Chains A and B, each alone.
Chain A
Amino acid sequence: MNPVSRRGRRAGEPVGGALPAWVHVPAAAGLLLVLVPLLAIVARVDWPRFGELVTSPSSLAALRLSLLTATASTACCLLLGVPMALVLARGAFPGLRVLRSVVLLPLVLPPVVGGLALLYALGRRGLLAPALELLGVRIAFSTVAVVLAQTFVSLPFLVLSAEGALRTAGQRHERVAATLGARPGRVLTRVTLPLVAPGLASGAVLAFARSLGEFGATLTFAGSLEGVTRTLPLEIYLQRESDPDAAVALALVLVAVSVVVVVGVRGREGRRGP
């Protein structure tokens, strides 16, 4: 027996830390928990009618609305989340830790609760209703409400990614840029943001994916109006009763988009690694 070349181990490669064999059992069980339901969906799809199901007017309207609102909310996340991450990563004032916890709250909050909270802040009888009425703005149960709900739940993903990227990048390049005569604004746009661009991109992709899948907060705050607030997840939930085949087909579309997003992010991280 050759003790060196065992199956799956190539000569010349570094030897990793040894894992106890039993660890692979729960690890495999976890993988199955994720994989089996996804395969079940693929198995359940009515392939001959797939094209027809995903291109029905209501499906297309939901798909279009989902892409539109997810893009808009990702833009909102970038506009609001990058400055938040800058303050969290670079700021130095008391209460910063508390502030970070507040920012990350939507991550652990049930989305339905988030939707309710939005409704009681911005709804017709909400906290800010008088001000909104004065401006002649109605938000609840509109497409804007969908974007707000998605931004609410997606923001922590972007802030976390961006803050992590800023901390990893450190401030050494920024200090050098300052000694070269760059004003703070120029340091931010020409040095800081380009340096953390890969982190911002993966944060944006995660936020987009989270927005695309948003269900609870949207339903609570924006309702389910076809073409206005009924996004793909809402459409899937609705069709589940009337036309399960259509629901399954649309679900597969959502799975496919998610896979593309996750692979995109992981691939990017892989390239950045050592």
Chain B
Amino acid sequence: MSARVSPEVAPSPAAGLEVAVRHDPRGLAVDLAVPPGQVLAVLGPNGAGKSTLLDLLAGLLRPTAGRIALDGRLLTAAGATGREVLVPAHRRGVALLAQDPLLFPHLSVADNVAFGPRSAGAPRREARERAQRWLDAVGAGHLAGRRPRRLSGGQAQRVAIARALATRPRLLLLDEPMAALDVTAAPEVRRVLREVLRGGQHPERPGGVVLVTHDLLDVLALADRVAVLQDGRVAERGDVHEVLTRPRSAFAAGIAGLVLLTGRATADGLRTADGTLVAGVVDDGCPPGEPAVAVLDPAAVAVHAADPGGSPRNRWRVTVTQLEPRGRAVRVRGVRGPLELFADVTVEAAAEARLAPGDEVHFVVKATAVRVHPAG
């Protein structure tokens, strides 16, 4: 930090990020908070105002009214509150990682990562060392001497992560960081982000993280809390499991139109807190005993009135609580102890089985239809 920066102390010096802003031209009005060290996932359909929110946080856009404070320092204040404040982007301590890595093409990978520390006035050697540390942390240490155009998409995004974190940001903004990557690179980058943001072994972790995404897996792997933006407003918010299992907004329900079971990973699946074993395909980077979430498509769940026996490894006895029509299908909700499950079956199948709330049925799903991912 340069000596000219005098931290603006907010009336209530709270740690973490506090946002209450309006941007009328883009129809955004949100209030949000991110406690220190936490990751807030912002979900929402296109045009909901997610990018506008990030631009406001980064200081690239002036709000119509409202305030943004980070660790008690006022970054933005506008409108009726009286004093106008807009700390410029380069003095905010807010780093932005976009979909596109946007590495500087004329600089080597090492110089890209050293750019932030050098901008903050670090001597060349110290900046280099810090760059190398972060490149090692994202598994790109061997790429230090390369030019950005000679990197794959996944490599470039890992370097961009190192570059953002090397500035020791108080707040890290992630704008759909995996959206532009192919299917093999995305899990790799997600794993790296999970390591550096949640691993705990990096003392220079950012103070807080705002993650804009469309992807359920990003939320599960990286976020503590979720806010759903719709039409420029926060439609719902809460911790990840709460929002995804009991979605109140249509968007969260859509993104979470999947059955989620939390627990701890095993070698070939997951064990829930009440001891239910779920057989599934376990992600790489999800070691046994670690917190994990099993995800399955309700359409892959078959509902049987009697125990069908046979080979499927996941057979759960469930009490039907509710039946909801969903187009050509019927969503059968059921409980098994503390677990909430649901299955989508055809109208014909539901009629044939004469399903009704209170019935005891069997939910059956193949192990290959269940994926186990690491979770918060």
Contact = CB atoms under 8 A, between A and B. Distances in A.
Interface stretch (A70-78, A180-188, A259-267): A180-188
Given A175-B89, A195-B105, A180 B60 contact: no
Contacts of A176: 96, 98, 102
Determine the interface band of chain B, counting residues with CB < 8 A from chain A. Answer: 20 to 34
B58 interface: yes
A139 interface: no
Contacts of B163: 180
Interface stretch (B113-121, B257-265, B310-318, B319-327): B113-121
B60 A181 contact: no
B83 interface: no
Nearest to A180: B116
Contact of B102 (A172, A183, A184, A197): A172
Interface residues of A, number: 19
Contact of B95 (A179, A190, A195): A179
A184 B173 CA distance: 21
A195 B115 CA distance: 15
Contact of A179 (B94, B104, B105): B94
Contact of B106 (A181, A184, A194): A194
Interface string A172-211: 1101111111111011001100110100000000000000
Nearest to B163: A180
Given A180-B163, A181-B90, A194-B106, A172 B115 contact: no
Interface of A: 172-173, 175-184, 186-187, 190-191, 194-195, 197
24 contacts: A172-B100, A172-B102, A173-B102, A173-B104, A175-B60, A175-B96, A176-B96, A176-B102, A177-B115, A177-B119, A178-B89, A179-B60, A180-B119, A180-B164, A181-B90, A181-B93, A181-B119, A182-B90, A182-B116, A184-B90, A190-B104, A191-B104, A194-B106, A197-B106
Interface of B: 58-60, 88-96, 98, 100, 102, 104-106, 115-116, 119-120, 163-164, 167, 173
